[in-house]
Amino acid sequence: MPVRGIRGAVQISENSPEALSREVPVLIEAMVELNSLSYDCIISVLFTATPDLNADFPAASARSLPLGDVPLICAQEIGVPGGMPRVVRVLMHVETAQERSEIQHVYLGATRDLRKDLAQ
């Protein structure tokens, strides 16, 4: 089965554990649903957060989902001057029969402006 990467992003409403716990799972669920995936086909998930999001790890917020033993890791996004604040970005590696061109990348809310070429 081919391995594909799915991109996603969400702007978090505030730098708090509660906001991350509420908003990161919504992004992951949307990525799974829009691509007709099951959680079993997820190989790994890489999260990045802008430097202004340090109240909690995005991966910890995703643990409320049925990810079981899926490896999750966090990194800090580059602090580009003028960049969008409070953004969590995701790169999810999945096993899927979908062609690369069929993958639906998910940019929620204001993050649609980050990748107008990919946003749904």
Decide if 63 is catalytic: yes
For 34, other C-beta atoms within 10 Å of its C-beta total 15
Structure tokens belonging to residue 2 = 């081919």
For 54, other C-beta atoms within 10 Å of its C-beta total 10
Write down the catalytic residue from 4, 23, 86, 107: 107
Decide if 100 is catalytic: no
Decide if 74 is catalytic: yes
**Is 87 within the bounds of a domain?**
yes
Write down the catalytic residue from 4, 7, 23, 86: 7
Tell me which residue range forms the domain holding 53.
Answer: 3-113
Decide if 89 is catalytic: yes
**Is 105 within the bounds of a domain?**
yes
Q: Is 0.85 surpassed by the pTM of this model?
A: yes
**Is 120 within the bounds of a domain?**
no
Which has the closest alpha carbon to 48: 9, 103, 102?
9
Write down the catalytic residue from 77, 86, 99, 102: 77
Question: At 26, which CATH number?
Answer: 3.30.1330.40
Structure tokens belonging to residue 80 = 């580009």
Number of domains in the chain: 1
Which has the closest alpha carbon to 43: 5, 89, 100?
5
Give the single-character DSSP code of 66: S
- Per-residue confidence at 1, pLDDT binned at 50, 70, 90? confident
Q: Dump pLDDT digits (tens) for 54-97.
A: 999 999 999 999 998 999 999 999 999 999 999 999 999 999 99
Decide if 115 is catalytic: yes
**Is 12 within the bounds of a domain?**
yes
Decide if 7 is catalytic: yes
